[in-house]
Chain A
Amino acid sequence: MSDYNQLSTKHLLGIQHLNSEDIQLIFEHTKRFKEVINRPIKKVPSLRDVTIANLFFENSTRTRISFELAEKRLSADTVNFSASSSSVKKGETLLDTVNNILSMKVDIVVIRHPSEGAAQFLSDHIPAQIVNAGDGTHEHPTQALLDLYSLQEKWGSLKGKRVAIVGDIVHSRVALSNIFGLKKLGADVKVCGPPTLIPMHLEELGVDISYDLDETLQWSEAVNVLRIQLERQEGKYFPSLREYTRYYGIDLARLEKVDHTLTIMHPGPINRGIELHSDVADSEHSIILDQVENGVAVRMAVLYLLAAQKGAKIDTLDS
């Protein structure tokens, strides 16, 4: 076990800002918390003096519930906020909303927002610690951490492993966070999708690009299948869903052409029958439900390690 026991960053804004020691520290704690959440009493009192606000300016089921469970299992107090039922509808600015919530003494803010950089913006302007739960098409660090943890749990190490990310790369914060994280842990990364859904200059991040799914599957050891974000397809990126499925959808027949066993991941929610078919999603190739279980433990580790930093809390008893 290393002596490295403190994160190098005060906020979790993106994987880009973490180093590999940070990631391994989070994973060591994830392992501990995974044991905790499999106990009869799935709770520890560590964060009982910490208040966390979950600000969701965009719809989310999995991530919101996962964060909330993680917080509760650390004994933190939580307040939830979702944009659809709040004053944002009345025209309040992000900063005003957050400052109002902060005056109710909140230590950590978990934020999901449709605009890129929203988490960074908050960290520049308010004294609380910020956890990015997805900002536009930029980053979704806790999702990437749980993807990486699930792979490391399966393989022991990601060094030299070949991982492909398939689908809508241009709109995907999961893809960007995964690319940063996979590269930091030494994996080889290939992205695959229709040319219109792969951003320009992506190769500068050190990833290979392919437009041929079968060739990509043959190359990879694990595939992270991304959701076609039906809500972010204002432009026409491909002629029809049917055509997308034909070229980039993964079904069992396609996997059987590969001469080795692949691990299939998906950040959810799955568009069944579009990017991923049920015969794969529910097969032994898939570690999708392990990802969800690991999600709670990873988020517990992140919140615990952020709160553990000295001086992290705004008003401590002895200050």
Chain B
Amino acid sequence: MEGERYLLQTAQLDITLQRLAHQLIENYEDFQDTCIIGIQPRGGLLSDRLRDILSDLGPFHFDYGKLDITFYRDDFRKREQPLTAYETQIDFLVENKKVVLIDDVLFTGRTVQAALTALSDFGRPQAVELLVLVDRRFHRELPLEADYVGAQVDALDDAYVRVEWEKQNGQDAVRLLSAKELGK
């Protein structure tokens, strides 16, 4: 397809995911008092993958959940179409725990801000870190940075970075799509 650009393809993506998992182990050792939380919907797919990799690397015990932030967004009612809410699966409290939030793409930072607000409804964590697969570093609208980054991408404002997973899209890849390809 014309103009189709891959930022990461299956083999590279796998190396990146392995690296991210190892970085987490480096910092959290046995993951005592640690929660790993994926931001729904797409961060949840990434966190599922990382959890699988971590479970291959050793027996680690951490609380694992997924957080939907639709009800916490600051652009409620400002969109053309309301967003669909996904399921929140958190059956533990984050009170005094270390939390790793996971999302696929860090762009404006507003999702992460909403996630931090949402997280506070489950207690007061001791510390929160952010892991993202792709950091679009020149588009931040809020003073937020990620602690673990898979890849950094400098793309045009109207370009779209899409993380694809084999289960949903038939392949593991990170693609860069132009506005035209998205049909906008």
Binds B, one of A41-49, A76-84, A201-209: A41-49
Closest chain-A Cβ to B45's Cβ sits at a distance in Å of 14
Decide if A32 touches B85 in the complex (CB within 8 Å). Answer: yes
Q: Which residues of A contact B68 (CB under 8 A)?
A: 32
On whether the beta carbons of A39 and B122 are closer than 8 Å, the reply is: yes
Contact A35 B87 (CB under 8 A): yes
8 Å CB interface, B74-120 against A: 76-88, 93, 117-118, 120
B166 interfacial contact with A, CB 8 Å: no
Stretch from A146-154, A161-169, A309-317 contacting the other chain: A309-317
Interchain CA distance A28-B76 in the complex, whole Å: 18
Residues of B within 8 A of A41 (CB): 120-122
Q: From known contacts A32-B87, A39-B121, infer whether A46 and B76 are also in contact, taking CB-CB under 8 Å.
A: yes
Are B77 and A5 in contact, CB atoms less than 8 angstroms apart?
no
Which of chain B's residues have a CB closer than 8 A to the CB of A44? Answer: 71-72, 118, 121
Q: Interface residues of B: mostly helix, strand, loop or mixed?
A: loop
Contact flag A5-B72 (CB < 8 Å), given A39-B122, A40-B93, A40-B122:
no
Contact of B83 among A5, A36, A316 (CB under 8 A): A5
Q: Give the CA-CA distance A307 to B79 in the complex, in Å.
A: 12
Across the interface, which residues of B come within 8 angstroms of A307, CB to CB?
Answer: 77
Q: In the complex where A44-B71, A308-B76 touch, is A28 in contact with B81 (Cβ < 8 A)?
A: no
Contacts known (A307-B77, A308-B76, A308-B77); A35 close to B82, Cβ less than 8 A: no
Cβ-defined contact, B79 with A40, below 8 A = no
Within 8 A of A (CB), among B38-59: none
Given A41-B122, A46-B76, A304-B71, A35-B88 contact (CB < 8 Å): yes
Determine the interface band of chain A, counting residues with CB < 8 A from chain B.
20 to 34
Does chain B have a CB within 8 A of A245? Answer: no
A16-44 at interface with B (beta carbon < 8 Å): 28-29, 31-32, 35-36, 39-41, 43-44
Size range of the chain B interface in the assembly:
20 to 34
Q: Is the beta-carbon distance between B82 and A46 smaller than 8 angstroms?
A: no
- Answer whether A313 and B77 are a contact pair too, CB < 8 Å, given A40-B122, A44-B71, A45-B72: yes
Q: Let me know if A102 is at the binding interface, CB within 8 A.
A: no
Q: List chain A residues, Cβ under 8 A from B71.
A: 32, 36, 44-46, 74, 304
- How far apart are A51's CB and chain B's nearest CB, in angstroms? 14
B123 surroundings in chain A (CB, below 8 A): 40
Q: Which residue of A lies closest to B90 (CB)?
A: A39
* Contact yes or no, A318 B78, CB < 8 A: yes
Contact with B along A115-148 (1 / 0, CB 8 A): 0000000000000000000000000000000000
| B127 nearest CB across to chain A (Å) | 20
**Other-chain contact of B72, A6, A46, A310, A316 (Cβ < 8 Å):** A46
Residue pair B78, A32 in contact (C-beta under 8 Å)? no
Please, which residue of chain A has its CB at the minimum distance from the CB of B88?
A35
Contact between chains at B77 and A310 (CB < 8 Å): yes
- Contact present for A6 and B82 (CB under 8 Å): yes
- Residues of chain B within 8 A of A316, CB atoms compared: 77-78
In the complex, A69 has a CB within 8 A of chain B: no
- Report if A308-B82 is in contact (Cβ < 8 Å); known contacts: A32-B88, A316-B77: yes
Q: State how many angstroms separate the Cβ of A120 from the closest Cβ of chain B.
A: 25
Contact partners of A308 in chain B: CB under 8 A: 76-77, 82
The reply to whether B84 and A312 contact each other, CB–CB distance below 8 Å, is: no
Report yes or no: A5 in contact with B84, Cβ–Cβ below 8 A: yes
**B86 surroundings in chain A (CB, below 8 A):** 32
* A312/B72 in contact, CB under 8 A: no
> Counting CB contacts under 8 A, is A1 at the interface?
yes
- How far apart are the CA atoms of A6 and B77 in the complex, in Å? 11
Chain A residues with CB below 8 A from B85, complex form? 28-29, 32
Check B88 against A5 for contact (C-beta < 8 Å): no
B115 CB to closest chain A CB, in angstroms? 13
Q: How far is the CB of A296 from chain B (nearest CB, A)?
A: 15
- Once the chains are docked, how many angstroms separate the CA of A44 from the CA of B73? 10
Q: Which residues of B contact A170 (CB under 8 A)?
A: none
A5-B84, A32-B71 known; 6 new pairs, CB 8 Å cut-off, are A32-B86, A40-B122, A45-B71, A308-B76, A308-B77, A309-B82
Would you list 7 pairs from A and B whose C-beta atoms are within 8 A, ordered by A residue?
A: A5-B83, A32-B71, A40-B93, A44-B71, A46-B76, A74-B71, A305-B82
Q: 9 nearest interchain CB pairs?
A: A44-B71, A308-B82, A41-B121, A46-B71, A32-B85, A5-B84, A5-B82, A35-B88, A46-B76
